[in-house]
Structure 1
Amino acid sequence: MQEAVLSGPESATSTPPVAGLPVAPWTILCVDDEPNILSSLRRALRNPRYRVLTAPGGDEALAMLEATPVDLVISDMRMPGMDGARLLGQIRRRWPRTMRILLTGYADVDSTVAAINEGQIYRYVNKPWDDGELQVTVAQALERLELEREKERLEALTHAQNEELRRFNAELERRVEERTVEVTQANDKLKRNYMTSIKVFANLIELRGTQLVGHGRRMAEMARALSRAMGCNSEDTQAVFVAALLHDIGLIGLSDEILAKPVPKLSVEELALYRKHPILGEQSLMALDDMQPVAALIRAHHEHFDGKGFPDGRAGADIPLGARILAIVDAYDDLLNGHMGAAGLKTAQVRTLLMHGRGSQFDPEVLDVFLHINQPSAPTPPAPISMTTEHLQPGMVLAADMISREGALLLATDHVLTADTIRRIRQYEQREGMRIELRVRPMRKT
């Protein structure tokens, strides 16, 4: 029923190797019901690179395909039982990677068209065939098959490499993300340690037990808020914050006696020593490269907008904006907490004194922004309560309109009650013979 033939290298009709084809033999299945045709095909395909199998019919060919991998099927068209078109059609559906060639006579045009449509054959060969043409056709079919397989192999390899690359990228992204988190945490820790060191350094002056305790911390918070309100970037705002913490570090070398005195009460000699502290503060940071912007603000924080400050007599925009910010918050905290006199002043008094220095000691624009963001908040009015007339007292304020039975407005909201008003309300209540309850707010404090 079936026969396998391995043709030897001695054949004179063997075709030359086709470039790109593998050395391992190709398996070719020839199907025809005529033994002499199968013998002719074996002779024509005698080649060390071909392993030729034969089958006498379609059913036998399908059985062989189920048992043995086949690269190329060459089938006659006219065979009893299953013809070539049906056979090649089934092969296309079940073994789509197997190449298919149809042998047909000139009179089989309709059958050939059916085979082409149903079996999607690679090529058809007319009978009788020319051995040379058949050998070339088979070689071309197998070369195409090899190219298709190489294409599939390369696509699979590319897909596998892409998948591996995707996994590698995912792993790389995960590691980068983990490393980024570690670096961010380390950076945050470094920043915290940096600020902790700054605050510890700033606290050295407070260990002297003077009235400057807490001054740097309060000033730093106000300076940071004012810097943000002025539209400074985060880097400049941070420099202002640190400079506020350290602005008086130059005072650390002064005696307790000088530090305990308000500035206006210093002697000439003591004042001269005091006025050196901005320079000493700057010099104490000379060795720290990253602190030079802060050092510049510390040196200039006692300069006046009109040029009459110290230590360099700088004026206007020549004074760094951060130093102009420090000058205002420094004076504000000094006045509020008694550093400039025997006792601290009230907020309203401090605001008035700062306004007196507008344009002379302080930058007008910066001062206006500072006073705006530090406006005293208006007291929250007390919640209204319901009260009968016998409990009303002069000074209370109506929280809702007083309306008569007829809907007439008797007293409007925010009306301040007097003794006469309360008396008339009680008389109205008696005349009308009804109990009146009003919504009022407590008495205004004068």
Structure 2
Amino acid sequence: MEEQLPTTVTDKPKLLLVDDEESILNSLRRLLRGQPYEVLLATSGAQALEIMAQQPIDLVMTDARMPNMDGATLLAHVHQRYPDTTRIMLTGYADPSAIIKAINEGQIHRYISKPWHDEEMLLTLRQSLAYQHSERERLRLVQETWDQNEKLKQLNATLEKHVAARTSELQQTADMLDLAYEELKRSYVTGTEVFSLLANLRLPPTKQTNRQIIELVRVYCKLHGLDEGTSRDLTMAAALYNIGKLSWTDSMMNTPSDLLHHNDRERYRGYPKQSESLLMTLDPMKDAARLILHHQERWDGSGFPDRLKGEAIPFGSRLLKLAVDFIELQRGLILERQMNSDEALVYIRQYAGRLYDPELVEDFIQVCATYLSDVTLADPTVKVLATRDLVAGMILARNLNADNGMLLLNAGKVLNGPLVEKLIAFEAMESAKYSIFVKVPEEVEGALLETS
């Protein structure tokens, strides 16, 4: 295996960009102009390997589909010859076989889709090189610690003063190792998020959930000041909660859970355990895997896989279920009808004490209102009424859509008697049942009180 010398601290990191389309290479070169990198270009896998044989390269980013030698094959060669080089796959199409080959043989660090967002591309490169630097520094510190221990063994018999001095140095080294290990754990979180994006390729964009659940969990952790370890475990659990579904058929992946037939329903109930089993062998994932295992337990004990009840369900699992159900209700993955954000929260509030921790539900609704601009349910002036409870003078708090998605009324519309009658008639004609989000002016509220 060919060896390459590590880049020194004062050198600019060397990036090798590989693509058979020169227009792509030119775009990347323009993007990286002014960045603290030395950029090299290659139009084929063979040319890239020739360049790497002549000089050390810190990071290789290659297109997946190229003639003669595709990106996955190139990255497999790079992994074999230059294992310290960071490897990134860049592709404009979803090819599971290429992705699997790149992961298994090239052990890629990241996967980026075309067209890319410039800021995300720059962030990905910075994070990848920062992780590489952290790992090199950790190995250097480990070697330094080992060397110092050997010296201590030789000096221990006669030089007590030297022992005390070296002990102090070892403590400093251990502190640095702890910092390096913490950085590695943070990088692990990033890795789980990248993998979750790959897993999401099994679903159409309208059914993908992981990114929104990750962001919602992060907002909750930040607003409630949860410690770094808890936040990290919750984030990883949100990223990979549905990894056990990857073996399902496309039809089952897209079918609402309430519509699954007997055999598929049993398989559905097994996905939390399957997800946990896949992750338990990874030591940094053990706590997150436990949260995933129990995120389909229910407050009343009717959930799965262990029928845990109440506070016997881990707090993180209770929070994860709220976030998962809130997003999946809007994606049509639980019920056949896709809900808007307020309707999903009404559903969650309706089942507080049965499916969800009742003390956590209202707190969760407030977090959703902080995070999402279209949530009105947290506003105490907003009421959720059936069409027959509407009266003239009420004001729509959000758009009203039919079950087929057609817009019926815009938010801000002031209701009158004939309009209410038309809504009741339309609801009966469609055999539907709408929840109407309205604001009730003080004069209308007063009139309702007098009538009652």
What range describes the TM-score normalised by the shorter chain of this pair?
0.3 to 0.5
Tell which structure's C-alpha radius of gyration is larger.
1
| TM-score, with structure 2 as normaliser | 0.42
| TM-score, with structure 1 as normaliser | 0.42
